[in-house]
Amino acid sequence: MRNYFLFFFLLLFFYSCQKEVKNNIDSSNIEVEFMINRFEQDFYTNKGDNLEELKKKYPLLFPKNTPDSIWRAKIKDKDEQELYNETQKLFSSFSDIETELRSLFQFITYYNPMFNVPNIITGLSNIDYDYRVIYNQRLVFISLDVYLGSKHPFYGDFPTYIKQNNVRERIVVDVAKAIIDSQIKPLTNRSFLAKMIHEGKKLYLLDLYLPLKSDVLKIGYTNQKYDWAVTNEEQVWKYFIENNLLFSTDTKLNKRFLEDAPFSKFYLSEDKNSPGRIGQRIGLQIVRSFMDNNDVSLSNLLIKNEEEIFKNSKYKPRK
């Protein structure tokens, strides 16, 4: 009996070590090369007499039919100069972000050796938060004016659920999300369950690519809203089941539970305490459960049918 317990203890210890190694991948020895070009610095410090050089350096940012007079007017525009000056107060140095991006690209390359590391261009978008980051396989464009801090006066009229993510720490998360969107094939199944799991796949990749970032930062909730999501997971799942939502194709569910919003809409008094996009987090929990209970490669997960993932996930919401 004594030997049995010793064997059992050693088995548990070995398993926990294996799990720890699996969850603490060292990708630091993977070489990745990329350039960072500061377009906003080159553009807004230009006097308007060197536009041809800028066009050669940044051909994608200068549509051919746009006259030079438009660019010169932008350079001299007081509001745009003010926006530029504000970004430079926070982003005159970009070395810490470069370090985070390097780590991100190393992890992506670890999981996908065929990944082509993109170059980075920073710029301004007149605070268009719908286009924080643009990715096109070769380049990543980052709109720095969307990351000046949640309390910056430029965001005074923005909804809280938007400006809470207008922070420097979100840059690498948004870059990762833009890349992930290109790595997962479009969804064909229109059920609410499939949509949740589809979004859950994206968040699962975000976990792998940014293992040192907190779940709160990656999903983009406040601490209070995240705590609500964790505490009420069982009640949310029960609501979805009791209201026959899982296999519904009603597109109104997207706005209620999957898209950016100040809160999720159960049409209950508790709504205001919930985070938006609660369906995405439930989808992540289902994917996590599936990967914990099945010996499946990451590449297979990404192409696997969402409803098959659910059936084999053994998902049980946290009580």
Domain contains 46: yes
Structural domain total, the chain: 2
Domain contains 64: yes
Of 160, 183, 206, which closes a domain?
A: 183
226 and 307 inside one domain: yes
- Answer whether 192's CB lies under 8 Å from 250's CB: yes
Domain contains 118: yes
Tell me, what's the pLDDT at 7?
Answer: 39
- Answer whether 206's CB lies under 8 Å from 288's CB: no
The pTM assigned to this predicted structure is 0.91
Its domain, for residue 66, covers: 36-183
162 and 223 inside one domain: no
Q: Is 120 helix (H, G, I), strand (E, B) or coil?
A: strand
Q: Is 97 helix (H, G, I), strand (E, B) or coil?
A: helix
Residue 208 identity (one-letter amino acid)? L
175 and 221 inside one domain: no
The rounded distance, in Å, linking the Cα atoms of 305 and 311 is 10
Domain contains 19: no
Tell me, what's the pLDDT at 11?
Answer: 37
Question: For each of the chain's 319 residues, which pLDDT tens digit applies?
Answer: 444 443 343 333 333 333 333 457 888 899 999 999 999 999 999 987 789 999 999 999 999 899 999 999 999 999 999 999 999 999 999 999 999 999 999 999 999 999 999 999 999 999 999 999 999 999 999 999 999 999 999 999 999 999 999 999 999 999 999 999 999 999 999 999 999 999 999 999 999 999 999 999 999 999 999 999 999 999 999 999 999 999 999 999 999 999 999 999 999 999 999 999 999 999 999 999 999 999 999 999 999 999 999 999 999 998 7
Mark out the alpha helices in 24-143 (DSSP H runs): 39-44, 51-57, 68-76, 78-91, 95-111
**CA proximity to 171, closest of 210, 215, 199, 207:** 210
Beta bridge mates, 134: 141
The rounded distance, in Å, linking the Cα atoms of 219 and 205 is 12
- Answer whether 218's CB lies under 8 Å from 210's CB: yes
- Between helix 171-183 and helix 95-111 the angle, nearest 10°, is 30
Tell me, what's the pLDDT at 23?
Answer: 56
Residue 316 CB neighbour total at 10 angstroms: 11
